[in-house]
């Protein structure tokens, strides 16, 4: 029997609360942890408020849950200092960076990729159910929003680094000396969202009988008359 939404969300909420409490204890840099959790608090608040009006699928809530859990690990240690290499070495005898040829701590890069990979689908579900988009736009708009919000987050990081400065600003920014860090983060988030939408599209093309028809219909011009100054003229004419 399928577990109810209420019970499933309760389980996810309890698991996340448990992780949050554990990782809130003695983080590496308390001030950075506070900064990193501001958006988490806002996100959880929005999810809680919208629960009754916009109940998402279990898939979407699970993807959001996994991303928030990854983010909390980064918030506890700071993204540049998550000791995944030490954890991996304890089990295998060698570091993960040595195994794959990385020269820096890439936990932040992985999470930026996961931002697109894990959150593009929940964004798609919102677009489909609220804006009623279909076909091409149901895949392009989630990709576009993921890319734009990734850019906005990089601007927030820049602003926070400028505002707070010093060690706190650098810990929050986490560039590790890479002048292209923000560009690479945005590219990875975009790649993750693209992969998510490609997987979703392939699955729908297999399951949805009218997939091609819906795609073509979404690209058909619905209103043949131009807007801009022509629309202004039509509106002024209606007011007379």
Give pLDDT tens digits for 90-128. 998 888 988 888 888 889 999 999 999 999 999 999 999
Total of domains in the chain: 1
Local structure of 224: helix, strand or coil: coil
Within a domain: residue 235? no
* Cα 212-216-221 angle, rounded to 5 deg: 170
Asked if residues 31 and 169 have their Cβ atoms less than 8 Å apart, the reply is: no
Spatial neighbors of 211 by CB under 8 A, at least 6 apart, are 204, 205
Cα gap 146→63, rounded to integer Å: 14
DSSP string, 57-123: -HHHHHHHHHHHHHHHHHHHH-GGG--HHHHHHHHHSS-HHHHHT--S--HHHHHHHHHHHHHHHHH
Cα gap 32→75, rounded to integer Å: 7
Within a domain: residue 217? no
Q: Give the mean pLDDT of 172-183.
A: 65
Question: Can you give the residue range of the structural domain that contains 174?
Answer: 5-208
Report pLDDT digits (tens) over 52-81: 899 999 999 999 999 999 999 999 998 888
State the CB neighbour count (10 A cutoff) for residue 21: 9
Within a domain: residue 153? yes
Task: Please determine, for residue 201, whether its predicted confidence score (pLDDT) is greater than 80.
Answer: yes
Within a domain: residue 238? no
Within a domain: residue 110? yes
Within a domain: residue 240? no
The larger pLDDT score, comparing residue 175 to residue 80, is at 80
Within a domain: residue 55? yes
Q: How far is CA 121 from the centre of its chain?
A: 9
Spatial neighbors of 52 by CB under 8 A, at least 6 apart, are none
- Of 147, 143, 99, residue with least CA distance to 120: 143
């Amino acid at each position: 029997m399928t577990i109810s939404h209420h019970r499933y969300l309760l389980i996810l909420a309890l698991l996340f609360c448990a992780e949050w409490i554990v990782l809130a204890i003695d983080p590496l840099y308390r001030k950075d942890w506070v900064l990193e959790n501001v958006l988490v608090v806002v996100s959880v608040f929005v999810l809680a408020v919208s629960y009754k009006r916009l109940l998402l699928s279990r898939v979407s809530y699970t993807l959001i849950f996994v991303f928030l859990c990854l983010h909390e690990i980064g918030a506890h240690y700071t993204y540049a200092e998550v000791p995944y290499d030490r954890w991996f070495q304890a089990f295998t005898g060698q570091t993960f960076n040595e195994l794959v040829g990385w020269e820096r701590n890439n936990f932040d890069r992985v999470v930026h990729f996961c931002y697109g990979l894990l959150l593009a689908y929940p964004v798609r579900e919102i677009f489909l159910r609220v804006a009623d988009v279909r076909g091409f736009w149901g895949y392009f708009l989630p990709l576009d929003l993921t890319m734009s919000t990734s850019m906005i987050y990089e601007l927030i990081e820049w602003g926070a680094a400028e505002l707070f400065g010093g060690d706190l600003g650098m810990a929050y920014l986490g560039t590790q000396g890479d002048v292209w860090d923000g560009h690479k983060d945005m590219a990875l988030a975009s790649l993750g969202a693209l992969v998510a939408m490609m997987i979703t599209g392939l699955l729908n093309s297999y399951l949805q009988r009218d997939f091609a028809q819906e795609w073509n219909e979404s690209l058909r011009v619905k209103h043949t008359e131009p807007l801009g100054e022509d629309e202004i003229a039509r509106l002024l004419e209606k007011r007379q």
